[in-house]
Structure 1
Amino acid sequence: MAAKITGIVMGSPAEKSGIKTGETVLEINGIPIVDYLDYMYASCQEEAEVKLENRTVRIFNEDYLPLGMEFSTLLIDAPKSCHNKCIFCFIDQLPRNMRQTCYFKDDDYRLSFLQGNYVSMTNMKDADVERILRYHLPRLNVSVHTTDPQLREYMLHNRRAGEVLSYLRRFVDGGINLNAQIVLCPGVNDGAALDKTIGDLGSLGDCMESVSIVPVGLSDHREGLADLKRFDRSSARDVIEQVTLWQEKFLKERGTRLVYLGDEFYIMAQMPLPEYEAYEDFPQIENGVGLCASLEYEYCQALKETKSRLPAKSKTVATGKIACKFIEHLIGMLEGNKIDVVPVENRFFGENITVTGLITGGDLVQQLQDRKLGEEVLISEAMLQHENPIFLDDMTVEEVERALGVPVRAVPNDGYALLEALLQ
């Protein structure tokens, strides 16, 4: 894919050097520009010789500013797709007739660096590893799941899944920081297998920055897929006890807990969530690890700074079933009784999917349309496509508003924003 320029940032070194929209970049400082990593690496020089299709432009960039060229896609190149058939893959559990982009599985180390995506490494080759080391990417997020080679081959249904675990050591030896993720499946990679995985990852040293453990999510659309179990209160408690011992060990030896559990485990186990400080710098909050603790901390800080705790209008907060009691707890800190919290059952994916981010517009309409909603409905912005007011079932916020007859406001996962939305 050619690195065709689709925009030039005003005042940037590229604009000052006369580079125009529509031109194609072939090389910078002798490095062929195949994707955005090449562009970033080649641009980090005081002087950049940019070879375009029909001319060569020399850019003097003493302040090491971004050159200011924009391209049609983030990567420039096409994203790398996943080569696995994971027994727990949620994309394989999607209903039919969703928009086509929902079914694309990326497994691209470049998106791991640029956007924080998690990669399995199974479509990587030695040349990719060498490139990561040469460019010295500061951090990669890796979907590990288990460090047992045979078990990993089974879980990912990929014969390379076990052998590419050696890449972790190469990255660490090269100074690349890592975050690891484990999707935990009862009876598969838990118990002794989980102990081995945590121990192996911990032995990689300081470059292994964090390990998150999240429970497998199982929708109602698993025809022909592996027979997996769900966590219940008892099994969730077992995992918490097991991981707590590791956290205490790492905290004593390394000054960090290193391994963290998704909030769902504590809610399923009906156990108190860890304190805010227990998540340290919240390294994997995007994985649902510490979301509740962060939200509550910010919310309480915002409460201390506000003059009134009385909502001016009656409103409805629509949330996933698993977060309902937690949201009720936060709203209980306010005065009056103007806020109604409604747990929305996930009929689109199945009642066993209880997280807020997978609620669809259709489920909101079906379960809210006959209720008194007040002046406004508040939802989490996690329900919507990134930077686009569209739910997973392709309903828009505007369509939901028309069906419900009240405004719908998407609120960020931020305690200050939540309190502001409740009190406005």
Structure 2
Amino acid sequence: MNKGEIIRVAAGSLAEELGLVPGDKVLSVNGRELRDIIDLSFAFAEEEIDLLVEHADGEQEMISFDKDIDEELGAEFAAAVFDGIRRCANNCYFCFVNMVAPHMRSSLHIKDDDYRLSFLYGNFVTLTNMGEADFRRIEQLHLSPLYVSVQCMNPELRAQMLRCKRAALINEQLDRLESAGADYHTQVVLCAGLNDGEELERTIRELVARRPHVLSLAVVPVGVTKFRTDPYPLKQFDAAGAAAVIDMAERWQKRLREETGRTFLYLGDEFYFLAGREVPPEEMYDGFPQLDNGIGLTRSFLKDFEETQASSSYDAPVYLDVVTGTSVAPVLERLAQSVRQTNLHVRIVPVPNEYFGTTVNVSGLLTGQDIVRALRALPGPRTGILIPEPALRAGEDIFLDDMTLAELRAAFPEARVEPVQGGSDYRRALADWTHYHKARAGEAAYMWQSNAAYTKPAAGTE
């Protein structure tokens, strides 16, 4: 248990004024022990505070002070939960954490299923490890909305897919969530021949009937890496299967928009890439309620690119290599061709994911070593290299394989390497490379791995 360990103190903050430093641990506020930053937020709403702190040497100190009712502590913690992340009790057919390389950093092997992280950060939970006390806390503290991994509404099939008997209680658990006053977004990880077809129709129908508590439904295709050892024979979608999913979704989307003016049901971009179809227009995403889940990333990227005004002139030739996952490479190629500037030469570099397996085709799961390998195989001049920022761990310049950004830069001393987050960055980098620089300082540190991480690349690009 990390007991609320502080890792950063904001300059000029109350925490700095109190003399708190990284390594200090916040144990209680006004005698109330803290399970997580939710407890801290409620306890810290008081104006008179008794703060029990444990310093790095183990000495405990009670700090008493008065504060404004809306004044925050100004400290960043090592984790949002102080009593340990609630682990996943399931053994899903499609669990991506079980498909991570065995020698990767330990945080990538954490299977979280914690409703607090769902409320705070949009991590998806299955509800299978929740008891009555958890639902009462959700009700008492008004923890809404949450994000629920439904997978399917057929109780028996859900229990089979999650390999957990309690997974069959999905209807009762959603009823209890609703009676607690919580709304929720939902997700289905779709596996060909398993929870698609008629089962997907049933899932959509039953979740639509639970509106307005159900705020949205995202359907994403299952991802499989070469490290998967689970004996269940998962099938991935081909072009025809992806087209069938899109056709079904579009029938529902048309009906729902006619009824309510909202799409409600959204598909992961991979379905459109597989089927060779354009992603839907912006209005079909209703303001992108599940962007952090990878829903609408391409359309959001296109929107930001088109709305960004940037231009410069290049007196000398500029040669830019744009590193990307293989799925979104055609989109980046099309956008690059739209930027017509004298002396600008852009080469799109789709990187096969040798580390996880080439069926993994999103940019956010590229490793440093695969990027280096792909770039070294290309001849010719190189002025700059654009890499996808989602491939870097948030708050740190490090790739999934623990190669640092500095090491990648050292491998190509002839070129400037810059991360690109979204469409606006991409447009500015192409049109004004001379002045483009992506400052990453001040980003929140990444503290835990979501069980649905492969469907949650950082907002901006796949």
Structure-2 change in CA distance of 1:382 and 1:26 (3 Å): closer
Q: Does 1:143 align with 2:149?
A: yes
What's 1:35 paired with?
A: 36
- Aligned partner of residue 165 in structure 2, secondary structure: coil
Q: CA offsets per residue over residues 61-118 of structure 1, 9 Å max, x none?
A: 34x2224455443322221111111101112122232222221111111111222211
Alignment of 1:98-109 (within 5 A): 98-109=104-115
Write the distance in 1 (CA, Å) between the matches of 2:119 and 2:317. 44
Q: CA offsets per residue over residues 117-137 of structure 1, 9 Å max, x none?
A: 111122211111111111111
Write the distance in 2 (CA, Å) between the matches of 1:23 and 1:365. 39
What's 1:410 paired with?
A: 419
What's 1:326 paired with?
A: 331
Q: CA offsets per residue over residues 363-397 of structure 1, 9 Å max, x none?
A: 11222103135111111111111121211122122
Whether the 8 Å CA contact 2:4–2:77 is kept in 1: the answer is yes
Q: Does 1:362 align with 2:363?
A: no
Structure-2 change in CA distance of 1:151 and 1:373 (3 Å): farther
Q: CA offsets per residue over residues 281-336 of structure 1, 9 Å max, x none?
A: 1011122211111111111111xx33458796111101111111111111110115
Q: CA deviation at 1:59?
A: 3.2
Q: CA offsets per residue over residues 191-221 of structure 1, 9 Å max, x none?
A: 1111111122122222311111100011222
Q: Does 1:306 align with 2:310?
A: yes
- Aligned partner of residue 161 in structure 1, secondary structure: helix
Q: CA deviation at 1:56?
A: 7.2
Structure-2 change in CA distance of 1:241 and 1:232 (3 Å): same
Once superposed, what is the RMSD of the aligned Cα atoms? 2.5
Alignment of 1:267-346 (within 5 A): 267-302=273-308, 305-308=309-312, 313-336=318-341, 338-346=345-353
Alignment of 1:102-121 (within 5 A): 102-121=108-127
Whether the 8 Å CA contact 2:4–2:81 is kept in 1: the answer is no
The unaligned stretches of length 5 or more in structure 2 are 54-59, 434-462
- Aligned partner of residue 64 in structure 2, secondary structure: strand
Q: CA offsets per residue over residues 33-57 of structure 1, 9 Å max, x none?
A: 2222211122234555556766573
Whether the 8 Å CA contact 1:129–1:167 is kept in 2: the answer is no
Write the distance in 2 (CA, Å) between the matches of 1:237 and 1:309. 43
Q: CA deviation at 1:344?
A: 1.0
Whether the 8 Å CA contact 2:310–2:428 is kept in 1: the answer is no
- Aligned partner of residue 162 in structure 1, secondary structure: helix
| Equivalent in 80, 85, 98 of residue 86 of structure 2 | 80
Whether the 8 Å CA contact 1:28–1:42 is kept in 2: the answer is yes
TM-score (ref. length: structure 2): 0.84
Whether the 8 Å CA contact 1:2–1:34 is kept in 2: the answer is no
Whether the 8 Å CA contact 1:316–1:374 is kept in 2: the answer is yes
Whether the 8 Å CA contact 1:36–1:77 is kept in 2: the answer is no
Write the distance in 2 (CA, Å) between the matches of 1:69 and 1:78. 19
Alignment of 1:42-61 (within 5 A): 42-48=43-49, 50=51, 55=62, 57=64, 59-61=66-68
Structure-2 change in CA distance of 1:373 and 1:241 (3 Å): farther
Structure-2 change in CA distance of 1:23 and 1:296 (3 Å): closer
Whether the 8 Å CA contact 1:81–1:104 is kept in 2: the answer is yes
Q: CA deviation at 1:24?
A: 6.0
Is the deviation greater in 162-171 or in 279-288?
162-171
Write the distance in 2 (CA, Å) between the matches of 1:142 and 1:78. 20
Q: Does 1:213 align with 2:219?
A: yes
Q: CA deviation at 1:246?
A: 1.2
Q: Does 1:186 align with 2:192?
A: yes
Q: Considering Cα pairs closer than 8 Å and 6+ residues apart, tell me whether 1 or 2 has the greater RCO.
A: 2
What's 2:263 paired with?
A: 257
Write the distance in 2 (CA, Å) between the matches of 1:288 and 1:33. 33
Structure-2 change in CA distance of 1:59 and 1:293 (3 Å): same
Q: CA deviation at 1:143?
A: 1.1
Structure-2 change in CA distance of 1:251 and 1:109 (3 Å): same
Whether the 8 Å CA contact 1:13–1:59 is kept in 2: the answer is no
Write the distance in 1 (CA, Å) between the matches of 2:99 and 2:25. 41
- Aligned partner of residue 83 in structure 1, secondary structure: coil
Write the distance in 2 (CA, Å) between the matches of 1:196 and 1:124. 25
What's 2:398 paired with?
A: 390
- Aligned partner of residue 328 in structure 2, secondary structure: helix
Q: CA offsets per residue over residues 121-165 of structure 1, 9 Å max, x none?
A: 222111111111111113211111111111111111111112144
| Equivalent in 367, 380, 387 of residue 388 of structure 2 | 380
What's 2:452 paired with?
A: none
Q: CA deviation at 1:184?
A: 0.3
Whether the 8 Å CA contact 1:138–1:177 is kept in 2: the answer is yes
Q: Which amino acid aligns with 1:321?
A: T
- Aligned partner of residue 416 in structure 1, secondary structure: helix
- Aligned partner of residue 204 in structure 2, secondary structure: helix
What's 2:459 paired with?
A: none
